[in-house]
Structure 1
Amino acid sequence: MKAFNLQRVDLPTGVSLDVAVEGDPANPPVILLHGFPESHRTWRDIIPDLARDHHVIAPDQRGYARSSKPEGVAKYAPQEILADLIALADHFGIGKFTLVGHDWGGAIAWMAAILRPDRVERLVILNAPHPVVFQQTLITDKDQRAASQYMRAFRSEGFENAIDARGMLSFFERNFAAHIPVPIPEEEKAIYLDQWTQPGALSAMLNWYRASSIEVPPVEAEIDKPTFPIPELPPIAMPTLVVWGMKDPALLPCQLDGLEAHVRDLTIVRVAEAGHFIPWERPDAVIAALRGWFAEQPAPAGA
């Protein structure tokens, strides 16, 4: 098992995060944001390669693992988590950085690129939809709407009780391992079960869904599109790489349609034989995409 140097970082946002820190601080910085229901372990096969020539920062985000778990849904609103990201970069004395996000980490990465372009030098997204495209497809694409119904369940009051009733091992098998068609080492399984059973962890992780402004209509809903709220957001200007596992059952390939209207400098790498958890399934493809794109979009040292 690959173990990393974990540092406990107290942030002025009121939370403390465990952060994997690897590589020479003199090298270009890259920050890695995991999604649900994970931790810095998402990147266990990615970090060693990046650390050869980057300063790598991979936090356990608020609500996850042993990082702080503030009470209340409002504490997991995207702006709160974005504030953690900027404060984390400040803590390490990092000005501009390459930002890589998967799943909910990708949602925060999109937001950071839109709202804090002064800090994000390059953007990398792994199977995480642009907020405008996602909201539009939830209206216009019934397959995507059907695939996203799990979000309505995760947001429901007391969903934690249903998971507790089944047991955390069942949650691991049905909601995580079942979507990863490669063997999960027993030591990694033990780490995740330990992280998910930390006090308050389950509610905190689900609160990311509850705090999101994305609307997921019922499958059978008749929607008056002109009155449905779709955010108006400025286009993203920095170089952006999107790596997409095309067999993702929750975020369908329609999330790539029309994306160029929202990103001025866009590169898309489609990985045919990968699903949602592409850092687990195909770390080789992720690294190859990153390395090829980095060669075309070099970051200045000490960004």
Structure 2
Amino acid sequence: MAEVRLPQGIVRYREHGPAEGQVLVFTHAFLLNGDTWRNVVPELARTYRCITPDWPMGAHSVPLDPSADLSPSGLVRLLADFLDALSLERVTLIGNDSAIALVQCAAVLHPERIERIVLTPYEALDSYPPPPFRLLRTAVKLPGAVWLGMQALRIPGATRLPITFGNYTKRPIEPAAMRSYLAPARRSRAIRRDIRKWLLSLDPGWTQRTVRRLPEFTGPALVVWAADDPLLPAPRRRLLPGARHIRVPDSYAGIPEDRPVLLAEAIARFLRKT
């Protein structure tokens, strides 16, 4: 892994594919990291330069500086600073699950940097944040709650509960990937601090106001729906009326985990056509 020093702290990232290829930058869900895309990137990296950072959402191996802003607007700034640090001018931004709000807001606030967006799937305004995060925001106010929660995930079967990863993927996540996701917060108090800060900094009002401007984004967009997702059904109102929409069968929101080959093929087709 490589790393870059930003004003907010160190961000580590993986890079695959030709250096001169079009750039794809990936985001991931809460309590996950760039390993989310481990089975998607190899196909795309044949043609495209694929960059998969570990964003500070709970499974990053290096904590950010204590003063770092992890609010939605702060994470958009962090993304812009990351693009600046790597001299990335026009990228395709690809997001999954709880990072979709970041992708949508970045497309609105930095359209000059974002050429295309891929959402897999995306949260409707009336479901942000999803119910599990509302519960977590209350729970982490208790002292030691994050440490206790991470230890509880050691219990056999705990990662398949609906409130953990059971509603994110239809099938268990590979053990090596799960260790990658859970190990940082188990060993580092500073990572647990970042988890708590991220959850408490969620700002539905700011996010919803910003995402309502999504029709201002005029670049190509792809929305990949998970046919069996119990938490993120297709919204009643589509903010990207010109987007291409496809539905992936036999998957929950964790499409990169459940159906990585189909997702890679769908993204590759979209990139070729646009």
TM-score normalized by structure 1? 0.78
- Asked if the contact 1:31–1:100 (Cα under 8 Å) also holds between the matched residues in 2, the reply is yes
1:51-88: CA deviation from partner (whole Å, max 9, x where unpaired):
1111111100124321323447x721112111221222
State the AA in 1 paired with 2:178. Answer: K
1:188 alignment partner in structure 2: 177
How far residue 203 of structure 1 moved from its aligned partner, in angstroms, is: 4.1
In structure 2, the residue corresponding to 1:237 is in which secondary structure?
coil
The number of residue pairs the alignment matches comes to 261
Equivalent residue for 1:85, pick from 63, 79, 83: 79
The counterpart of 1:66, out of the listed 61, 86, 89, is 61
Which whole-Å deviations, capped at 9, do the CAs of 1:266-300 have from their partners, x for residues lacking one? 11111232111110000122112112211211xxx
Gap regions ≥5 residues in structure 2: none
Alignment of 1:101-112 (within 5 A): 101-112=95-106
For the residue of structure 1 that corresponds to 2:187, the secondary structure is coil
Instruction: Give the counterpart letter for 1:274 in structure 2.
Output: S
Pairing of 1:114-263 with structure 2 (within 5 A) = 114-129=108-123, 133-135=124-126, 148-156=130-138, 157-158=141-142, 159-160=145-146, 162-164=148-150, 166-169=152-155, 171-174=158-161, 175-176=164-165, 179-199=168-188, 200-214=190-204, 231=209, 232-235=212-215, 236-253=217-234, 255=235, 257-259=236-238, 262-263=239-240
- Tell which deviates more after alignment, 169-178 or 265-274: 169-178
Distance in 1 separating the partners of 2:248 and 2:184 = 29
* Aligned residues of 1:238 and 1:265 also touching (Cα < 8 A): no
C-alpha distance 149-93 of structure 1, shift in aligned 2 (>3 A)? closer
C-alpha contact (below 8 Å) 1:155/1:207 kept by paired residues: no
Say if 1:95 and 1:119, in contact at 8 Å, map to a contact too: yes
Aligned counterpart in structure 2 of residue 273 of structure 1, from 250, 269, 273: 250
Contact 2:24 2:94 in 1 (8 A): yes
**Aligned to 2:32, which of 29, 38, 63?**
38
CA contact (8 A) 2:63 2:194 kept: no
Larger displacement relative to structure 2 (169-178 or 49-58): 169-178
Decide whether aligned partners of structure 1 residues 70 and 128 sit closer, same or farther in structure 2, where only a CA change above 3 A counts.
Answer: farther
Larger of the two Rg values belongs to structure: 1
| CA deviation after TM superposition for structure 1 residue 177, in Å | 5.2
User: Which secondary structure does the structure 2 equivalent of 1:101 belong to?
Assistant: strand
Fraction of identical pairs, as percent = 21
SS of 2:42's equivalent? helix
| 2:267 counterpart of 1:290 | yes
Letter in 1 for 2:273: E
**Which structure 1 residue ranges, 5 or more long, are not aligned?**
1-5, 139-144, 216-228, 298-303
Note if contact 1:62-1:69 (Cα within 8 Å) is conserved in structure 2.
Answer: yes
In the alignment, the residues of structure 2 paired with residue 266 and residue 33 of structure 1 have an alpha-carbon distance, to the nearest angstrom, of: 19
> Secondary structure, in 3 states, of the residue corresponding to 1:65?
coil
CA contact (8 A) 1:15 1:62 kept: no
Show the counterpart of 1:10: 5
Partners of 1:211 and 1:88 in 2: CA distance: 20
Distance 2:257 2:66 in 1: 30
Distance of aligned partners of 1:202 and 1:247 in 2 relative to their CA distance in 1, 3 Å threshold: farther
